Amino acid sequence: MTPLEIDLFPCRSDNFGVLLHDPVTGATASIDAPEEKPIRDALARRGWTLSHIFTTHHHNDHVEANLALKDRFGVTIIGPARETIPGIDRKVDGGDSFDFAGRPVEVILTPGHTAGHICFHLPGERLLFAADTLFALGCGRLFEGTPAQMWQSLEKLAALPEETIVYFGHEYTLSNARFAITVDPDNAALASRVAEIESLRAAGAFTAPTTIGLEKATNPFLRAADPAIRRHLRMEKASDAEVFAEIRARKDRF
Ligand code: ZN
Ligand code: FE
């Protein structure tokens, strides 16, 4: 199969816009719709016509352009069954799968940031769109879920193949990196990644995408089981979900 093409561009102050395009059928999906103009500019630059929006959750910085883009392109909006999404055509839930340009897209339910947040996984292309559940070196704030729910959601993502390429919702990586080293100071892989992120950001480059393997090695929010982190937090006997909750609470105060 001809590989899908991806276009990544900034939206709003720190959101990512992502377009997914099949050169054979012309099918083009926007992962969320944070802002109309940069999405239309990216489509024009590429010469692509929008056919779908895959919505991950109801926050305004992910759905603001849904209706405008639907008006303009007549797109099909596929989004979470458990949330209210402007212009939604097809509601999907965890375990569902749908077709995009002849490829299966699996829906993973990841409550925590919002109660009905979903991620989109294309197993054949080893691609995951994690939006505000998993960031590079971070995870979403718990607006509508408990730490235990978010930990369970992150465990589902961590179980995907390590080579899975992960696109995420926000360029928060530099501040995530500065926090990550405070809970995992002896992690050499993290230290070298922080240096890499600092030079990427200094050059104005994006830190997306990442991979599941890289996050498992360096993202403290996926490393609640790690003995060194537990020792550092003096939580050797706690459950993974409790360690995760402590890391999340420290990040909220950071
Ligand atoms: Zn959000
Ligand atoms: Fe967001």
pLDDT of residue 24: 97
CA of 119 to the centre of ligand 1 (A): 12
Q: Which of 41, 4, 33 is nearest to 17 (CA)?
A: 33
What pLDDT, on the 0 to 100 scale, is given for residue 99? 98
Residue 245 has pLDDT above 90, yes or no: yes
pLDDT at 10: 97
pLDDT tens-digit profile of 40-62?
999 999 999 999 999 999 999 99
pTM of the predicted model, to two decimals?
0.98
- Helix, strand or coil, per DSSP, at residue 143: coil
Distance 237 CA to ligand 2 centre (A): 34
Is 121 assigned a ligand-binding role in the annotation? no
Strand partners for 131: 168
* In the block, residue with structure tokens 């759905």: 63
* Nearest partner of 54 among 124, 108, 120, judged by Cα: 120
* Radius of gyration of the chain measured on its C-alpha atoms: 18
Does the annotation place 58 within a ligand binding site?
no
Q: Are 239 and 246 in contact (CB under 8 A)?
A: no
- Residue 155 alpha carbon to ligand 2 centre in Å: 20
Sign of CA dihedral 190, 145, 151, 238: positive
Give the strand order in the sheet containing 127-131: 97-100, 103-109, 118-122, 127-131, 165-168, 210-211
Q: How far is the CA of 62 from the centre of ligand 2 (A)?
A: 6
* Confidence at residue 44, expressed as pLDDT on a 0 to 100 scale: 98
Whether 232 has a binding-site annotation, put simply, is no
- pLDDT at residue 1 is higher than 90: no
- Which ligand is located closest to the Cα atom of residue 172? 2
132 is in an annotated binding site: yes
- Determine the distance separating the centroid of ligand 1 and the alpha carbon of 234, expressed in angstroms: 31
**CATH code for residues 5-253:** 3.60.15.10
Residue 48 Cα to ligand 2 middle (Å): 25
Ligand 2 ion: Cβ-proximal residues, 5 Å cutoff: 61, 132, 169
Determine the distance separating the centroid of ligand 1 and the alpha carbon of 170, expressed in angstroms: 9
CA–centroid distance, 16 to ligand 2, in Å, is 9
Give the length of the chain.
254
- Domains of the chain, by residue range, sit at 5-253
Ligand nearest 168 Cα, by number?
A: 2
DSSP assignment of 8-69, as one string? EEEETTTEEEEEEE-TTT--EEEES-S-HHHHHHHHHHHT----EEE-----HHHHTTHHHH
Q: Determine the Cα–Cα distance for residues 143 and 141; give it in Å rounded to an integer.
A: 6
- Considering every ligand atom shown, identify the ligand nearest to the alpha carbon of residue 15 and give its number: 2
Q: Is 200 helix (H, G, I), strand (E, B) or coil?
A: helix
Would you list the DSSP string of 41-52?
HHHHHHT----E
Q: What stretch of H or E contains 131?
A: strand 127-131
Distance from the alpha carbon of residue 141 to the mean position of ligand 1, in angstroms: 8
Of the ligands numbered here, which is closest to the C-alpha atom of 34? 2
pLDDT digits (tens, 9 = 90+) for 67-93: 999 999 999 999 999 999 999 999 999
CA atoms of 136 and 209, how far apart (whole Å): 8
Question: What is the DSSP code (8-state) at residue 95?
Answer: T
d(CA 98, CA 166): 19
